[in-house]
Amino acid sequence: MNNFTIGITDCDHPSVEIERHVIDGASGQMVLHQCKTEADVIRECWDADGLLNQYAPLTRNVLSQLPRCKVIVRYGVGVNNVDIQAATDYGIQICNVPDYGVDEVSDHALALLYTLARKTLLLGNAVRRGEWEFSISRPILRLRGQTVGVVGLGRIGRAFAEKAHGAGFKVIGCDHREDLPDPQPFVERVSFAALLERSDFVSIHCPLTEATKYLFAESQLRAMKPSAYLINTARGSIVHEGALDRALTEGWIAGAALDVMELEPPAPDNPLVKHESCILTPHVAWYSEQAFDELKRKAAEEAIRVLSGQEPRYPVNQL
């Protein structure tokens, strides 16, 4: 397809020159929008042959009113703002970019684990207050031989598992998806219940779906060790924040580290913001300069691939 139009529904990146360069090179036209609502997408993108999408809602109502759209590529891995079944019904290919930030997210999760375990943020803040005393961090336990539970054994979960194993942790894992490759030999595959019971650290790497929304709620958090830590670099709604607040307040678990939250940024009165035992980072696990460029280039290339009649490299739905 020549002279096609690819719209960007919304984008908070400082520049879209990478996408523009790729699309111009394929004789296409790129149009940047900043859609927030369904009505915005319908009004601005109705004539696009393809879309790149960040956060704007792509519901059945929206997709039904995009008559020319053949492909939608999500910036990133998650596709929870897209009605996949509706897209399939309307013949729209949905794609994502599942492999652009594997090292970055797994590195960030491991960094959060070490920050929790070695209590570096707690101690660093104390030094800034003029307190030179290690005892406020007690107890700190030797990490080698402790058990890390990995929830979700896709690309990122497997990369995290490999790094944790290399650092001397015992690694166990679980995943409800049956089509994934077998875990690495050093990962013991266990049930979700056994993972909660046995893990000293639990790191979440599964997608947000109907099955995983609030996967970590009161009963799951109560099933963890009182000395255990929870790490989430996946999607905020996998963890029930009210239950996590209670878990930290009442000591069901020792602490948590979240790079993602249900509402981003969190409301100022969100109690998790005030917990010293809860580390928060601003949805940055995906980021490095290299990953940022790779994401933008691959998203544009995937849209062009589909519009050119080629098979998608990263299909989410089957047409």
| pLDDT per position as a tens digit, 107-163 | 999 999 999 999 999 999 999 999 999 999 999 999 999 999 999 999 999 999 999
**Cα separation of 266 and 271, whole Å?**
10
Q: Which of 208, 204, 164, 206 is nearest to 188 (CA)?
A: 164
pLDDT tens for 210-238 read 999 999 999 999 999 999 999 999 999 99
Domain 5-100+289-307 in CATH: superfamily? NAD(P)-binding Rossmann-like Domain (3.40.50.720)
Count other Cβ atoms within 10 Å, centred on residue 36.
13
Q: What is the model's pTM? A: 0.89
Are 2 and 24 a contacting pair, CB within 8 Å? no
Mean pLDDT, rounded, for 304-317 = 96
Which positions are annotated as active-site residues?
235, 264, 283
CATH 3.40.50.720 intervals, the chain? 5-100+289-307, 102-280
CB atoms within 10 A of CB 264: 10
Count other Cβ atoms within 10 Å, centred on residue 1.
Answer: 14
Q: Indicate the class that CATH gives domain 102-280.
A: alpha beta
Predicted pLDDT at 78:
87
Q: Tens digit of pLDDT for each residue in 78-109?
A: 898 999 999 999 999 999 999 999 999 999 99
**Cα 101 from chain centroid (whole Å):** 10
Which pLDDT band holds residue 176 (cuts at 50, 70, 90)? Answer: confident
